[in-house]
Amino acid sequence: MKSTKIRILLYVIIIVMIFIGGYYTGKITSTETTREITIGYENQEHPDQIDFTKIIKDSEDQSAVDNFTVIYSNNSKIIIEEDMGKPDVYLSIRSPKQFTNLIDSKIWFTKEGATIGIRSGETWKKIDYFSINKDDANYIREKIDFN
């Protein structure tokens, strides 16, 4: 009787270990996109329309998504009182798996680097501005094919 219970317990443990091993193998080897960067420009004929022309997915270029995340997290906050005008680029970092925009931003390229306006809230009425250096701005220009 005891021998049968031990065998059943061992079988259950082995089955659970096989299931857990397969589950984690699937998670590790999955090529599902979890983060993507969308790049858009204002439509010339319809100024209120943004045309998103490029998407960088972490499943295709993980280092680019990581670098954008680092650039956006290592910036210097600045205070801007006046209207910045039309941005050069609209850039969003999204989680397509969870249908969520993580960062919505506008970028104005300058001689010194770039100014980034990140939407703070549900609308563009409140924007937090940051500056990035020339190297980071050039990296963004290169990755989004901005001339």
Nearest to 112 by CA among 88, 89, 129, 136: 136
pLDDT class for 30, splitting at 50, 70, 90? low
pLDDT class for 39, splitting at 50, 70, 90? very high
- In this structure, the answer to whether residues 120 and 63 fall within a common structural domain is yes
Residues 6+ apart with CB under 8 A from 26: none
pTM of the full predicted structure? 0.74
> What is the distance between the alpha carbons of residues 115 and 47, in angstroms, rounded to a whole number?
21
Cβ proximity of 139 and 104 under 8 Å: no
Residue ranges making up the domain that contains 57: 36-144
Q: Which of 21-30, 109-118, 138-147 has the lowest mean pLDDT?
A: 21-30
Backbone phi, psi, residue 62, to 5°: -60, -40
CA distances to 3, 10, 103, 106, 136 from 6, rounded to whole Å, are 5, 6, 54, 63, 61
Enumerate helices (H) and strands (E) in the chain, giving the number of each. 3, 7
> What is the distance between the alpha carbons of residues 124 and 84, in angstroms, rounded to a whole number?
13
55: domain CATH number is 3.30.1490
- In this structure, the answer to whether residues 51 and 21 fall within a common structural domain is no
- In this structure, the answer to whether residues 13 and 40 fall within a common structural domain is no
Task: Look at the block and give the residue holding tokens 């680092």.
Answer: 70
Q: What is the chain's mean pLDDT, rounded?
A: 88
> What is the distance between the alpha carbons of residues 143 and 13, in angstroms, rounded to a whole number?
49
Provide the number of structural domains found in the chain.
2
Residue 7: per-residue pLDDT: 86
Radius of gyration for the chain, computed over Cα atoms and rounded to the nearest angstrom: 23
Given a cut of 70, is residue 1 above it in pLDDT? no
Cβ proximity of 97 and 33 under 8 Å: yes
